[in-house]
Amino acid sequence: MKKAIVSLLTASFLIFSCNNGSASPPESRDDSRVNLETSLSTDSHGNQSENSGKPVNLTKQDFLERVMDYEKNQTEWVYEGDKPALIDFYADWCGPCRMAAPVLEELAKEYEGQIHIYKVDTEKERELAAVFGIQSIPAFLFVPKDGKPSMSNGIAQTPEQTKIMFRQMIDEILLGKKPEGEI
């Protein structure tokens, strides 16, 4: 039953995704592009804080330190984090990515202290997108504290449906909670 629900959620995410392939955003959209970068808390040393209740933007170096050092561990997944993580691979020009951004901000507040929510701009971090085979966006990598990560693409038709699906996937995949009614 759990696999059927996760499969259904994944399929619905695929319906609403942008093709990232090798296409660039239309030049005419440059003036109207929405910047998805989230304001980050900084400590007294200028470092990004992960306890701000907001998604944290990752560079390649941040990813290697906080998520996985794929340069050092090329054959095995070794998670570097202290809590499960949800990683959003996005681009500023992607409509569904812009729709997912406020939902992820709400979830970052809701799950603060339980999980990390990270964002990777696929236009700026092309190597990270290539390492994970990102061909359509938004793409979401669900990284449990222990075990292998799983990828999902796209979002639901409405922000409310997207939030419900994210909550279910966070609870089941990242936090190991069983759906209600399941023993």
Task: Tell me the backbone φ, ψ of residue 137, rounded to 5 degrees.
Answer: -130, 155
Q: Tell whether 34 is covered by a domain.
A: no
Annotated catalytic residue within 67, 86, 87, 94 = 94
Q: Is residue 143 a part of any domain in this protein?
A: yes
Task: Let me know if residue 29 belongs to a domain.
Answer: no
Mean pLDDT confidence for 158-173: 95
| Inside any domain, residue 105 | yes
pTM, whole model, 2 decimals?
Answer: 0.74
Residue 100 lies in a domain: yes
**Per-residue confidence (pLDDT) for residue 35, from 0 to 100:** 36
Distance CA 169, CA 49 (A): 24
Confirm whether 94 is a catalytic residue.
yes
CA dihedral 157, 160, 161, 165 (to 10 degrees): 130
Q: Check 97, 104, 107, 169 and give the catalytic one.
A: 97
Segment 101-113, tens digit of pLDDT:
999 999 999 999 9
3-state secondary structure of 93: coil
Query: Residue 168 sits in a domain of what CATH number?
Result: 3.40.30.10
Alpha-carbon Rg for the chain in angstroms: 16
Give the position of tokens 């319906």.
Answer: 15
Is 97 annotated in the active site?
Answer: yes
